[in-house]
Amino acid sequence: MYDIDFLERKFATLGARVKAADSRRRFAADGGVALDVRSDRRGEFFEVIGDRNGSTRVEVLDVQPRERHLLLLVRRLAAKQKFLCGHDERHWFVAAIPEDAPVGTVAAAKQALKPPEVREAQARARLDARRGDRRKNAANRRQGEWFFLPVPDLKVDPKLVIRNEPIRRGGGKPHWCEFVHREGGEPVRVCYRYPHGVDEKTYKGILARTPEAKTWGWRIMVRDARVYARGRVRHPDHRTIALHGWHRVVMNTETRAAAMRNVAFLD
């Protein structure tokens, strides 16, 4: 169970609001608690969905008012899930922390969300945690869940460069890169109904079963490729950044978290 009044006081120290969902809102996929970021006439607020009086407990492990971040722990039966809630540039967000990361503070949660490539680059640049958390530092640029690591020696055939290409996590709003180069990976067909993509055999099966699927706005993308970007990177919820020279693109570790299925707000 959780005490919504207690959560309201904790979130208020960040300048944020939190509400319990009304009975019409869905419960979490596993029957526990899900988190969302929604809007009303007063602006954005965090919403806790489901299991207010059940077997799930919600605790606040750490609060950092100056950073406008807090770390939540959700316990259900023997399972533990942690969520970093905070403000990034223009909007509030919820990020699921991988279950294999033993974190108990906001600072540790931020580190756990950095992929190994980013942590290694920041170590080589001898960045402390404070400088490493900046969106622009000596090791990388960051826009939302995406990190961009400079690769100054990368040589790319101009014929293999794609202009105005989206990168996205699942069904979230895409980040648009002015120039992209991909190496390896699996070509997939993507549309609004299949944001994670399907292979060619599955795509043909969908068309055979559902002829109207041809009108679903399919496009060919590449899954699990090594991706490089340069130029401007745009997203409606973030400031546009400019990458001078090629940068390797890597996503944060949130997709490793089983708890991600209980985050309704993705991007």
SS (H, E, C) 144-173: CCEEEEECCCCCCCHHHCEEEEEECCCCCC
Which residues make Cβ contacts (< 8 Å) with residue 31, sequence separation at least 6? Answer: 50, 51, 54, 76
**Exposure of 135 by Cβ count < 10 A (0-12 exposed, 13-18 middle, 19+ buried)?**
middle
| pLDDT tens readout for residues 132-167 | 999 999 999 999 999 999 999 999 999 999 999 998
**If residue 200 lies in a helix (H) or strand (E), which one and from where to where?**
helix 200-209
The three-class DSSP label of residue 202 is helix
pLDDT band for position 265 (cuts 50, 70, 90): very low
- In the chain, the amino acid numbered 217 is G
Q: What mean pLDDT is predicted for residues 219-237?
A: 90
Dihedrals phi, psi of 53, to nearest 5 degrees:
-115, 20
pLDDT of 32 over the 70 cut? no
Residue 30 has pLDDT above 60, yes or no: no
The two beta strands, 43-49 and 18-20, are: parallel
Kindly report the number of other CB atoms within 10 A of residue 195's CB atom: 14
* Three-class SS state of 5: helix
pLDDT at position 235 is: 94
Of residues 80 and 114, the one with the higher pLDDT is 114
Residue 33 has a CB neighbour count (10 Å cut-off) of 27
Q: Average pLDDT, stretch 211-233?
A: 91
Dist CA 221 CA 122 (whole Å):
30
Which one, of 258, 251, 241, lies nearest residue 113 by Cα? 251
- Alpha-carbon distances of 176 from 1, 41, 242, rounded to whole Å: 41, 29, 12
Instruction: Tell me the pTM.
Output: 0.81
DSSP type of residue 215? G
Sign of CA pseudo-dihedral 196, 177, 117, 134? negative
* SS3 assignment, position 185: coil
Residue 221: name the closest of 252, 245, 190, 244 by CA: 190
177: confidence class by pLDDT, cuts 50, 70, 90:
very high
Q: What is the mean pLDDT of residues 28-57?
A: 80
